Amino acid sequence: MSVKTESRLKQAAMQVGAGGSAGFIEVCIMHPLDLLKTRMQLQSSKSSLKTTDPHYYNGIVDCMKKMYKHEGLSSFWKGILPPILAETPKRAVKFVTFEQYKRFFMFGSPTATPLTFSLAGLGAGITEGILVNPFEVVKVTLQSNKQLAAQMPSTWAVTSKIVRESGLGLNGLNKGLSATVARNGIFNMVYFGFYHSVKGYIPESKDKVMEFGRKVAIGFTSGVLGSCVNIPFDVAKSRIQGPQPVPGQVKYKSTVGSIVMVYKEEGFRALYKGLLPKVLRLGPGGAIMLIVYDYVYEFLEQKF
């Protein structure tokens, strides 16, 4: 094995370790906000049960109160096992493939440009979306059903039920694949494109606290921008993968069709449902992930 190949394998191993650590820590801290986002995206603004359904939420605070009252504190971590199982390999794949795509999109140039970072982020997001979609289907199923904890206590039981009833294809465990790919691809395009481009223009600080603050600010802004740009696709994904309005009838099928349907029936604002909890999660979550990745990678580099 050549020295160059050995060096690349070593770098890839460190990227896997740093990316997996970043994903695990981020999901454990930020999962409750992802659940709130999903609950709010799934409900229709035209619901006739607004005043009678205890699970109709009038905003993020109301959602938190009703979940705590009717489902208990542990409900805020419903569906956490699928993302935990997915986040370590997902983030590992995200960062490893980002580096590979970045090398490819440099087209032989010695330096990377903002376009390079954006295209590499898009490629990494598409790859990530394909791999993580089955976990997203299970997670949304767990998060959207308020009585599911009593009926099906395990993630494996829910997964088995989906596979048994609908199979592994686009109507089953890979339902909403195009929406997940679009959501993740667009988010990572903005996220990595902004973070690495801006980080290069803002000089590093020798003061550790200031340097930490610089990374937090850029990572937070990257997460917020990515969230604002890709949320219509996230809403479509939740509608496709979640329970349909009329049991037995599939209303939300394709990504673009779902976005158009939500816009026509509920208005433009409905395409941004769940934006606040999404921003509250992926703003600090984006900062946490990039900071953990940078510091863990630096630590591994020093050790090995």
Least confident of 1-10, 103-112, 162-171: 1-10
- Could you give the angle at the alpha carbon of 8 between the alpha carbons of 5 and 14, nearest 5°? 145
Q: Give dist(CA 140, CA 286) in Å, integer.
A: 21
Mean pLDDT confidence for 163-187: 94
pLDDT of 190 > 90? The answer is: yes
43 exposure class (CB count in 10 Å sphere: 0-12, 13-18, 19+): buried
Q: What is the pLDDT of residue 1?
A: 60
- 149 — pLDDT class (breaks 50, 70, 90): very low
Q: Give dist(CA 203, CA 181) in Å, integer.
A: 34
Q: How far is CA 84 from the centre of its chain?
A: 12
Mean pLDDT confidence for 143-154: 59
What Å distances lie between residue 166 and 91, 137, 204, CA to CA? 28, 12, 52
The packing angle between helices 275-303 and 208-241, to 10°, is 130
Q: Give dist(CA 63, CA 36) in Å, integer.
A: 7
Q: What is the pLDDT of residue 200?
A: 82
Q: Give dist(CA 258, CA 256) in Å, integer.
A: 5
Question: What's the pLDDT tens digit per position in 256-285?
Answer: 999 999 999 999 999 998 888 888 878 888
Question: What's the pLDDT tens digit per position in 197-250?
Answer: 998 888 888 898 898 999 899 999 999 999 999 999 999 999 999 888 887 788
Q: What is the pLDDT of residue 102?
A: 93
Residue type, 229: V
Residue type, 20: G
Number of domains within the chain: 1
Question: What's the pLDDT tens digit per position in 75-115?
Answer: 787 778 877 776 777 788 888 899 889 989 998 888 899 99
Encoded tokens for 1: 């094995």
Q: What is the pLDDT of residue 65?
A: 86
Encoded tokens for 101: 């795509």
Encoded tokens for 90: 């997902």
Residue count (the chain): 304
Domain with residue 28: its CATH number is: 1.50.40.10
Q: Which domain holds residue 164?
A: 3-303
Give me the chain's average pLDDT, please: 85
Q: How far is CA 80 from the centre of its chain?
A: 13
Q: What is the pLDDT of residue 226?
A: 95
Concatenating the DSSP letter of every residue in 123-167 gives: HHHHHHHHHHHHHHHHHHHHHH-TTHHHH--SHHHHHHHHHHHH-
Q: What is the pLDDT of residue 134?
A: 92
